[in-house]
Amino acid sequence: MSDTTSPRSRSVAIIGAGPAGLIAAEMLAAAGLAVSVHDRMPSVGRKLLMAGRGGLNLTHSEPLETFLGRYGASAPRLAPLIEAFPPAALRDWAEALGAPTFVGSSGRVFPKSLKASPLLRAWLRRLDGLGVRFALRDDWQGFDDAGRAIVVRPDGSTAAIEADATLLALGGASWPRLGSNGAWTGILAARGVEMTPLLPANVGFRAEWSEPFRARFAGTPLKALAVRFEDTTLRGEAMVTAYGLEGGVIYALSSRLRDAIERDGSATLSLDLAPGRDAAELAARIASQKPGQSLSNLLRKAAHLAPVAINLMREAGGGPTLPRDAEELAALIKAVPIRLTGIEGLERAISTAGGVAWSGLDDGLMLKAIPGVFVAGEMIDWEAPTGGYLLQACFATGIAAAKGVLARLDAEQSG
């Protein structure tokens, strides 16, 4: 091909209008490519908007080295991509969109509005200004013999998208009603793409609550908790649910709990309900309480335990009648054993582990099995706890895949 081709004559079809697809669209349109974004849903960024419901945690302010460590086995592959678009760059990007960020007390980074909707609105205006075209209710089904992406349109017709490159940003398979349903796994596997199975990540776990405990405490937060599993102790919050436990500290342990339950059939957590006090101090405070009061009152006064925590001790530790001995009680407060018997399904998980294997991708995030097709976002095989690490990796891989597209098209043009 001659190098007199003007940039706009080069085109890319992006399938999936979540954060990974949209940031790739922005970069490619800004580089002068004709960009079309296709999504099976009637509107874009549904999971991003859902993420904003509880406060959109865009990224984290901790040192980059610690940050990168959150990606576990995927850290070596993700590190150069995140270093190229680090948390500071994501914050600058949000600010330039009119959504300045702040660092919360936990070090997490949020837009000042906390919500995703103002950011998404401003983003769509920017994409519109860059000439990005959207085709919604386009359900991607695979590729035709000429390598074109095939979509089924709302009227049931099938269309082949003409483009010089295709970028898939189809998300994982959690919360499928928001659009990403994981149907792409079968399509890509059939084309020889290396994959690892999709698994729930950042997800709740089942515990066998008694009926009275479930009825009274489902939906109650467990605040200021330390949770120990194997050699790891984490502080944070959790939530009692009808089925078991969920929330930040549980999510942070979820990949290890998932593996342990798969291996052993169950996993036992140890909950420290009073992480600020040691057992000796607690025992002394319990022993110094006036005799004759109910155990609940005694624990409330001596250890500032909420009813949910006291009943969790009954539930998990000591049966309906708790020990009266101060030292035994203190020991139980410091280590309430909770047996987790199962993991919630993908449809309730915050994110998805597994997906397109790193070994199936080149450095530009192009599928080795389907040259000219790039992937980004949660559909790649990485996982991370909540804390802003998910969105940061979606943005960074979106940008890396866009760079991969540019590099390939440039090479084709000059070659």
Q: Give the position of tokens 């080795």.
A: 368
| Helices 19-30/117-129 angle, 10° precision | 30
Among 265, 240, 249, smallest CA distance to 316 is for 240
25 counts as binding ligand FAD under rule CB under 6 A: no
Smallest gap from Cβ 227 to ligand FAD, in A, equals: 20
Among 155, 146, 174, 171, smallest CA distance to 254 is for 174
39 counts as binding ligand FAD under rule CB under 6 A: yes
Among 219, 316, 205, smallest CA distance to 254 is for 205
The pairing of strands 232-240 and 244-246 is: antiparallel
The pairing of strands 149-152 and 205-207 is: unpaired
Smallest gap from Cβ 154 to ligand FAD, in A, equals: 12
200 counts as binding ligand FAD under rule CB under 6 A: no
- Among the residue ranges 13-21, 99-107, 247-255, 361-369, the one whose residues contact ligand FAD (CB under 6 A): 13-21
- Among the residue ranges 98-106, 174-182, 234-242, 252-260, the one whose residues contact ligand FAD (CB under 6 A): 174-182
Among 269, 267, 287, smallest CA distance to 279 is for 287
**115 or 235: CB nearest ligand FAD:** 115
- Among the residue ranges 26-34, 42-50, 158-166, 226-234, the one whose residues contact ligand FAD (CB under 6 A): 42-50
- Quick one: how far is CA 128 from the chain centroid? 27
* 200, 399, 389, 245 alpha-carbon torsion, rounded to 10°: -20
16 counts as binding ligand FAD under rule CB under 6 A: yes
**179 or 204: CB nearest ligand FAD:** 179
247 counts as binding ligand FAD under rule CB under 6 A: no
Smallest gap from Cβ 88 to ligand FAD, in A, equals: 16
354 counts as binding ligand FAD under rule CB under 6 A: no
Residues 34, 51, 299, 396: which binds ligand FAD (CB under 6 A)?
51
Residues constituting the chain: 415
Determine the size of the site formed for ligand FAD (CB under 6 A).
Answer: 38
350 counts as binding ligand FAD under rule CB under 6 A: yes
Other C-beta atoms closer than 10 Å to the C-beta of 61 total 17
Other C-beta atoms closer than 10 Å to the C-beta of 232 total 10
Among 343, 399, 397, 359, smallest CA distance to 174 is for 343
| Helices 295-303/326-334 angle, 10° precision | 60
Binding pattern to ligand FAD, positions 376-395, x when CB under 6 A?
-xx---------x-xx--x-
Within 288-378, where are the H helices? 295-303, 307-312, 326-334
The phi, psi pair for 279, rounded to 5°, reads: -60, -40
**64 or 295: CB nearest ligand FAD:** 64
20 counts as binding ligand FAD under rule CB under 6 A: yes
List, as one string, the DSSP characters of 181-241.
-STHHHHHHHTT--EEEEEEES--EEE---HHHHHHHTT-EEEEEEEEETTEEEEEEEEE-
188 counts as binding ligand FAD under rule CB under 6 A: no
Smallest gap from Cβ 395 to ligand FAD, in A, equals: 9
174 counts as binding ligand FAD under rule CB under 6 A: yes
Residues 12, 24, 27, 57: which binds ligand FAD (CB under 6 A)?
57
Residues 134, 175, 229, 251: which binds ligand FAD (CB under 6 A)?
175
120 counts as binding ligand FAD under rule CB under 6 A: no
**What are all long-range contacts of 359-364, with beta carbons under 8 Å and residues at least 24 apart?**
359/194, 360/193, 360/194, 360/195, 362/404, 363/404, 364/400, 364/401, 364/403, 364/404, 364/405, 364/407, 364/408
**39 or 381: CB nearest ligand FAD:** 39
Residues 12, 170, 207, 303: which binds ligand FAD (CB under 6 A)?
170
18 counts as binding ligand FAD under rule CB under 6 A: yes
CA distance 84 to 75: 14
Smallest gap from Cβ 303 to ligand FAD, in A, equals: 32
Smallest gap from Cβ 42 to ligand FAD, in A, equals: 10
Which parts of this chain interact with ligand FAD (CB under 6 A)?
15-21, 38-41, 46-48, 50-51, 56-57, 138-140, 169-171, 174-175, 179-180, 183-184, 350-351, 377-378, 388, 390-391, 394
